[in-house]
Homo-oligomer: A and B are copies of this chain.
Amino acid sequence: MEAGSFAFPIDIARDICPARPLAVLSGPTFAHEVAAGLPTAITLAAADAATAEALAQALARPHFRPYVSTDMIGAEIGGAVKNILAIACGIVDGAGLGLNARAALISRGFAEMTRFGLARGAEAETLAGLAGLGDLVLTCTSSNSRNFTLGQGLGRGAEAAALMADRRTVAEGAFSAPVIAAAARADGIEMPITDAVARLVAGEIRAGEAIQALLSRPLRPEGR
Contacts and interface: CB of A to CB of B under 8 A. Distances in A.
Interface of A: 27-30, 33-34, 36, 38-41, 43, 49, 56-57, 60, 62-63, 65-69, 97-104, 106-108, 110-111, 114, 123, 125-126, 128-130, 132-135, 137-138, 141-142, 211, 215-216, 219-223
A7 to B, nearest CB: 24
Q: State how many copies of this chain the complex holds.
A: 2
A197 to B, nearest CB: 17
Nearest to A60: B219
A196 to B, nearest CB: 14
A112 to B, nearest CB: 11
Contacts of A211: 39
A31 to B, nearest CB: 10
A27 B132 CA distance: 22
A129 B108 CA distance: 7
B68 A100 contact: no
Given A39-B215, A69-B222, A100-B38, A137 B130 contact: no
Given A40-B104, A106-B133, A57 B98 contact: no
